[in-house]
Structure formats: structure tokens, C-alpha cells
Amino acid sequence: MGKLNPKANLIENLYAKDIKRVKTRDGYGKGLVKAGEKNPNVVVLCADLSESTRSEWFQKKFPDRFVEIGVAEQNMASLASGMAAAGKIAFMSSYAVFSPGRNNEQIRTTISYNNWESKPGKEINVKIAGAHAGISVGPDGATHQALEDVGLMRLQPGMTVIVPCDDAECEKATIAAAETPGPVYLRFGRADYPSITTDKTPFKVGKIEEFRSGKDCTIVANGPLVYEALMAAKKLEKEIDCQVLDCHTVKPLDGKTLLAAAKKTDCVVTAEEHQWQGGLAGAVAEFLGENYPVPIKRVGVRDRFGESGTPEELFKAFGLTSDDIVKAVRAAVKMKR
């Protein structure tokens, strides 16, 4: 039977009821400071949300490299592009529903398009931080719950898209984003999520990590749904042997690892805190449909807007819990047989 991959170096008390929960955005704040310490060209822009996005931690450390734009996300994208063209590594921070939600056109034209026409070594190094993403923003409701942002950014030519599973991975992703040529979209939430990875957990942009081995079904997840996937695999361990993959990088997709997994288990379940079209599920289905078709079931938000409630209530109402993943796994295995 499958088991947790020791090379993943996850926390020891993964299945504890009192598992430590930390805001993923804290990892972004810590990562910004470390990236700034490593490279003096790192600058941070924010759209009047420095406390909420944790950009203020960078502001306190490097006040001369921080720019408060105000509630002007379109201007922030254009200014970040200009700073990047002048040699800076510009992080722009806001809620995902506003950036890239409100300023998608400016990101497309001033960042992605300019980067597409740039020469190697002259990339437009803008890093777009979409905070408070997904339905777990909770009481803020539908207008503030970005559920289509990964799809928007995945369609931009040359854009790298990263969705960390917890605070530690978000810190690593932020540091890695600063070192990744070209534009990067970094997505993270507001709620206290289970902190499941450690400093020793492997992380590399564009590389899927196996958190649990298995031979009957592959669960590909990112964001807080990685934890839910691990819980689902635990619940199913006497019935179905599940492999769990942490696919933090939606683009570029690690096709090599995904293909090997699909050939091993012959069925796949995707799990994400995003619309079930266009995001991780879309990337996985497109790749496997072209390279190795297998039964696929998707766990995500089913073509609707969010609503107000606690993160726990919303995960249950929108079908994003470990129990929902269990149902999807059973359905995928049944299709395979």
C-alpha cells in the first residue's frame, strides 16, 4: 500500500486534529523580505493593501524600495512593467480579484506582451501576487472571491503560474519567483490553512512533488486542497491506494511526472480552490488528453460565484473537502474498471 513519501519531508503530525494552521500570505511576506535581502533590485508595489498582503513586512525592512500605489491596480501593473524594463524585479501585491481580476488588460499588454518581445536577459520581471484568492476569503463574499484568476493568468503567453499549498511553500515560491525570468503569477489565500510542509520539503518551479505514493488513483492538487487530498488518501487507504501529487506550478506543467503517474494508476482526480474549468483541472486534462487519456474527475468550484460564510462552511458547501475528493476518487476508479 502507498505511504507518505519520506523525500517530501512533510510535518510529523500531519494527521493530528490540532495541526498547526498558518496564513499562506505570511509566507509571501517572509519570502519578500528574503528575496529583497538577496537581491537589491527587488522592489514591491502595493494597491493600498500592504497589511493584508503582508507587503508591509518588506516596506518596514526596505522603505526606499516600496511604492504605495493606492487603489489603482491598472496603474500598478503599468508602473511595475516600466520598473522591470529598467532592470528591477517588481512584485505587485493586491487581492486576486483586483489583480489580475481588474487589471488583466494591463498585465496582458504592458507585462506579458512586452516580455514576449523581449530578448533573453531582458525579460519583464514582474511578479503578480494575487492574495485572498479562492472562496476561503469567507465573509467578504462573491465580489472578493477570485475563482477564475488561474485561468486568466495561465492563458497569458510566457506567464509562470504558481499556487503554493501552505505558508512554507509560499515563502519558497516567492523567493523562487524573484529568480524566475519573466512574469510570474503567485496565488495564495487569506485563511489559516494547515501548515504541512517544512523547510526541507523540496520545491522547484515547474516540478511536481509526490507527497504520497499509490498505485490505484492519482490525486493532483494545489493550494489548500493538497491537505484535503492527503486526508482523502488516508480515509481511502484500506479501500483504494491513492498517490497524491502537489502540483504547485500550473504553468509550466510538469508533464513528465504527470505522465508517469497516469501510466501507473490509470486514473486521475484534480483538486483545487478554483473554477473547475481553466485552472489546474484544465491544464491536467489538456495534457493527458493529448498524451495519455485516462478517466479524470475534477474537484473544484462548479461554474458558480462564491458566497459569504466561514472557510470551513464554504469548503463544505462548494464540495472542496476531503470527503468530496473521496467521492471523486471512487468515481474515477469505477470508470477505470
Does 313 participate in catalysis according to the annotation?
Answer: no
Q: Which of 73, 123, 228, 272 is catalytic?
A: 73
Domain spans in the chain, listed from the N-terminal domain onward? 6-19+200-336, 21-194
Of residues 199, 106, 191, 99, the one with CA closest to residue 149: 99
Q: How far apart are CA 221 and CA 217, in angstroms?
A: 13
Task: Measure CA 194 to chain center.
Answer: 15
pLDDT score at 138? 87
Pairing of strands 42-46, 160-162: unpaired
Task: Please state which CATH number belongs to domain 6-19+200-336.
Answer: 3.40.50.920
6-19+200-336 and 21-194 share one CATH topology? yes
Which pLDDT belongs to residue 297?
98
Give the residue among 45, 107, 43 at the shortest CA–CA distance from 78: 107
Question: Mean pLDDT per segment of 10 residues, for the chain of length 337 residues?
Answer: 92 94 97 98 96 96 97 97 98 97 97 95 97 93 96 97 98 98 97 96 98 98 98 97 98 98 98 97 98 98 96 96 98 92
Cell of 125: 520581471
Architecture of the domain made up of 21-194: 3-Layer(aba) Sandwich (3.40)
Q: How many CA atoms lie within 13 A of 326 on its CB side?
A: 12
Neighbours of 277 (CB within 10 A): 15
